[in-house]
Copies of this chain bind each other. A is one copy, B any other.
Amino acid sequence: MKHRSPDEYLILKRIIGRAADSTQNLVGHGIRVGMGDDAALFQPKAGHQTILTCDWFLEGTHFLRDKHPPDAVGWKCLARAVSDVAAMGGVPRCFLLSLALPVSHTGRWLDEFLSGLRRAARKFDCALAGGDTTRRREILINVTVVGEVRTARAVLRSGARAGDLLYVSGRLGEAELGLQILRHSKGLGNRTNPLTRKHLYPEPRVALGRWLADARLASSMMDLSDGLSSDLPRLCAASGVGAQVQMSKIPRVRIPKHALVGGIDATRLALHGGDDYELLFAVPPHRLQVVPMSFQGVPLTSIGSITKKREIVLLEDGGRQQQLAAGGWDPFRVTR
């Protein structure tokens, strides 16, 4: 990680002190040189491929300064990128943090941000290896995660074949419900509210993704970051297939009576809500017997099947069909 000034050096020292593991641990993660040099040195494991992914996490676009607690910003910026590694069936190893901050946020805000980041780094076993810092009016974050997967075991988006069954982990729409509650409440989000936790502190499905890859159960996989209606078409496009989804089977958020926010509909949340970071994966028919009902407490639900015809059809109870229209996250669509 580079620093560029005495002041920036102090920020870097804070980052190293509060977010980085000890040198001992860095070596355990394959990192030979971390902070304070031009770049980080990483020792890849023999017989493995390296997974590379990066994610924006920008104030105003991905989080709100007055709604998202700083430690949730720290947790989530790493969790999002780790989820991409999980979606390949890999394991995270280390990450680079690019951080642009106003001077006013280099004290307490930064400390709390780093505290959330460190909790996530420990939870996902992913060590801070380097990064870049600069000053900026707005809070800008970019995280690069480096992961590993045994050679030729990565699960791509492109492997789904007609006849495969389509699965999702967890319950969809929970994070979107959390976001809506956050938007309608005053001040910073509440860390302990179980309804907002899934939005603030998502848990990428690393163990599940790795198990599906190791057991060769999934022919195709991705993480649900922008909502099923946006992400399923991408998996199908990458595989050159279509899908039929049974609406009633989609495991969806349970909306408690006291969480009354106007016009909330669990089906809409489950179809179009983003930020769940659950896994969407296809399983070939001859492997179906091996898929359990749940994995480490996370339900695995078959919601439909892969079809040869390149369209995505929603089947409703009573036989009504409709084509799926994307309703998820789209930064370049000017009106949503």
Contact = CB atoms under 8 A, between A and B. Distances in A.
Interface of A: 2-8, 11, 32-33, 36-44, 46, 48-56, 58, 61, 84-85, 87-88, 90, 94, 96, 98, 100, 103, 106, 129-136, 140, 142, 144, 146-147, 149, 151, 154, 156-158, 222-223, 225-226, 230, 234, 238, 326, 328-334
Contacts of A53: 38-40, 96, 130
In this complex, the member of A37, A38, A58, A96 whose beta carbon has the largest number of chain B beta carbons within 10 angstroms is A38
Q: Tell me the interface secondary structure of chain A in the complex.
A: mixed
Contact of A55 (B36, B132, B333): B132
> 5 closest A-B pairs (Cβ-Cβ)?
A5-B330, A7-B332, A39-B53, A44-B44, A135-B331
A51 B56 contact: no
A162 to B, nearest CB: 20
Given A52-B130, A61-B136, 16 more contacts: A2-B225, A5-B230, A5-B330, A37-B222, A39-B52, A40-B52, A42-B52, A44-B44, A50-B50, A50-B146, A52-B96, A54-B96, A56-B142, A58-B134, A61-B135, A135-B332
Nearest to A101: B332
A100 B54 contact: no
Given A52-B96, A56-B100, A61 B5 contact: no
Contact of A88 (B41, B133, B230, B333): B41
B49 A158 contact: no
A61 B103 CA distance: 14
A55 B90 CA distance: 25
A49 B54 contact: no
Given A7-B332, A33-B156, A36-B238, A50 B43 contact: yes
A151 B43 contact: yes
A33 to B, nearest CB: 6
Contacts of A147: 39
